[in-house]
DNA sequence: AAAATAACGTACTGATCGGTATGTTATTTG
DNA sequence: CAAATAACATACCGATCAGTACGTTATTTT
């Protein structure tokens, strides 16, 4: 041990996450990163490795946080149908809140890097699979409570809902009319019965 | 008039389209483009303008071709349900065919550029809206023929299907298990009744 | 207090980026 | 045939890229 770090690793990683989330991997330069993170270039390399490793750390932080938030939101509502509707409506509200349309960091990465980098193919796939399990558990809770019909194939339904969520998140980037989104949501949630 | 072009504009634009489709805007360099298009840098600039204008031309070519193909595919099957299933299965088969997972050029652009460039926000949105109209017309054909229930809200249903198609196209980039995709497809198509 | 060590800031590296100036070659028009 | 013109190839531009060498400063350990 010698001199102590003058920055908080979690804090600067959070800053890097925000930037990568907003701009993607290629469009974010090291200069952008040092400016936003508030630390110098060598500090980044000593703490996180190269640009791609930093990106990976940022994405891992994102997926963990996101999965946890999602689980909490879905569990907080006793009605499964309401839980899903609120969840989807929050995603929509986030995009229409005026700020830059960041969408989902994991989905952005799935599009930009997964096809050319196996590490990110796996990382993004596993996150989506994990989310679909959270959906599935929520659906199963609805079946247990009698709110949903027992004949429903919870797993298949969860996977279809995740796919719709991805589609919704992506198309929101093109800022479609509100009616498009509302229609999509109504039809998609009609699968829960 | 003077010396005549030694290259075919359509042909080199097609090459540029393939490259942008595969790698995206930022990750494609002018050197990549000259190599694949087989023409020199100044030739690109005189024929198409700068990199972003070339990208736009490539995307426009893609969306026109794609919309036309889609219309043809959906119209070629007398059964609307079968038409949709075949259409979705072709999208899936394309991604599992072994080659590089390019997905949909328009969706890729929606993720990479739409949030930071209004021109592409509009261009990608209008393409998706156009596709949803094609879906809607197909659903209406099914209602007319009696294959689908008349109570269906054709427009809302079409929009939900487009959203699912986007989600499916995106998640295919992470190469999920075949069962995930099959489940999603079955549940999604169950909306057509 | 002295030696060791790790984080710091500065300044630099070669490579590559998008874009262009310039001279040459080929075709058209007068 | 000669003048005009546009597409060609080469070679270059300044800017920026990701990544690092190196000397300084601060903290820990002996």
**pLDDT reading at B139 higher than 90:** yes
Fold of B9-189: Tetracycline Repressor; domain 2 (1.10.357)
pLDDT for the residue numbered B1: 57
Which is more confidently placed, B1 or B190?
Answer: B190
| pLDDT tens-digit series, residues A2-59 | 778 888 999 999 999 999 999 999 999 999 999 999 999 999 999 999 999 999 999 9
pLDDT digits (tens, 9 = 90+) for A105-161: 999 999 999 999 999 999 999 999 999 999 999 999 999 999 999 877 999 999 999
Cβ–Cβ contacts within 10 Å for residue A167, how many?
27
Tell me what pLDDT residue A151 has: 78
pLDDT digits (tens, 9 = 90+) for B169-189: 999 999 999 999 999 999 999
Among the listed residues B128, B63, B157, B13, the one whose alpha carbon sits nearest the alpha carbon of residue A172: B128
Q: Is B85 on the interface with A (CB under 8 A)?
A: no
| Tokens representing residue B62 in the block | 């893609």
CATH 1.10.357.10 fits A61-189, yes or no: yes
Tell me the mean pLDDT in the region B154-167: 98
> pLDDT per residue over A163-178, tens digit each?
999 999 999 999 999 9
On the CB side of B62, CA atoms within 13 Å amount to 26
| B67/B45 Cα distance (integer angstroms) | 28
Q: Round the average pLDDT of chain A to a whole number and report it.
A: 95
| Mutation to test the B interface, candidates A99, A104, A167, most B Cβ within 10 Å | A167
Sorted by sequence, the CB contacts under 8 Å of residue B102 that are 6+ apart come out as A115, B21, B22, B108
Q: Name the DSSP class of A174.
A: G
Q: What angle do CA A54, A67, A135 make, to 5 degrees?
A: 145
Which residue out of B151, B173, B177 would a mutagenesis test of the A interface target, given it has the greatest number of A Cβ atoms within 10 Å? B173
Instruction: Measure the CA–CA gap between B29 and A26, rounded to whole angstroms.
Output: 12
Question: Comparing A1 with A119, which gets the higher pLDDT?
Answer: A119
Instruction: Decide if B30 contacts B91 (C-beta within 8 A).
Output: no
Q: Which of residues 20-49 of A touch B (CB under 8 A)?
A: 23-24, 26-27
Is pLDDT of B2 > 90?
A: no
Domain boundaries, chain A: 61-189
pLDDT for residue A141: 96
With CB atoms and an 8 Å threshold, state whether A187 touches B191.
Answer: yes
Position B110 scores a pLDDT of 98
Burial tier of A100 (Cβ tally within 10 Å: 0-12, 13-18, 19+): exposed
A192 pLDDT more than 90 = yes
What b/e readout covers B111-135, taking b as 16+ CB neighbours within 10 angstroms?
bbbbbebeebbebbbebbbbbbbbb
Pairwise CA distance, residues A25 & A7, whole Å: 23
Q: How confident is the model at residue A1 (pLDDT cuts 50, 70, 90)?
A: low
User: Taking the CA atoms of chain A, what radius of gyration do you get in angstroms?
Assistant: 19
Token code pair at residue A31: 């200069």
Q: How far is CA A50 from CA A81, A137, B54, in A?
A: 44, 38, 32
Reduce the DSSP state of residue A120 to 3 states and report it: helix
B152 pLDDT exceeds 80? no
Query: How many whole angstroms separate alpha carbon A113 and alpha carbon A103?
Result: 16
């Amino acid at each position: 041990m010698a001199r102590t770090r003058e920055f908080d690793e979690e804090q600067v990683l959070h800053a890097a996450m925000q930037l990568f989330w907003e701009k993607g991997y290629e469009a974010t330069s090291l200069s952008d990163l040092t400016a936003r993170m508030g630390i110098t270039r060598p500090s980044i390399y000593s703490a996180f490795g190269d640009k791609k490793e930093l990106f990976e750390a940022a994405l891992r932080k994102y997926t963990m946080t996101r999965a946890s938030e999602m689980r909490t939101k879905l569990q907080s509502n006793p009605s499964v149908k309401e839980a899903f509707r609120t969840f989807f409506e929050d995603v929509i509200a986030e995009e229409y809140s005026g700020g830059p349309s960041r969408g989902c960091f994991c989905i952005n990465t799935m599009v930009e890097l997964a096809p050319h980098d196996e590490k990110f193919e796996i990382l993004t796939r596993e996150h989506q699979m994990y989310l679909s399990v959270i959906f599935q558990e929520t659906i199963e809770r609805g079946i247990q409570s009698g709110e949903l019909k027992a004949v429903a194939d919870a797993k298949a339904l969860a996977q279809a809902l995740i796919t719709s969520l991805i589609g919704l998140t992506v198309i929101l980037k093109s800022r479609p009319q509100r009616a498009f989104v509302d229609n999509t949501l109504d039809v998609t949630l009609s699968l829960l019965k």
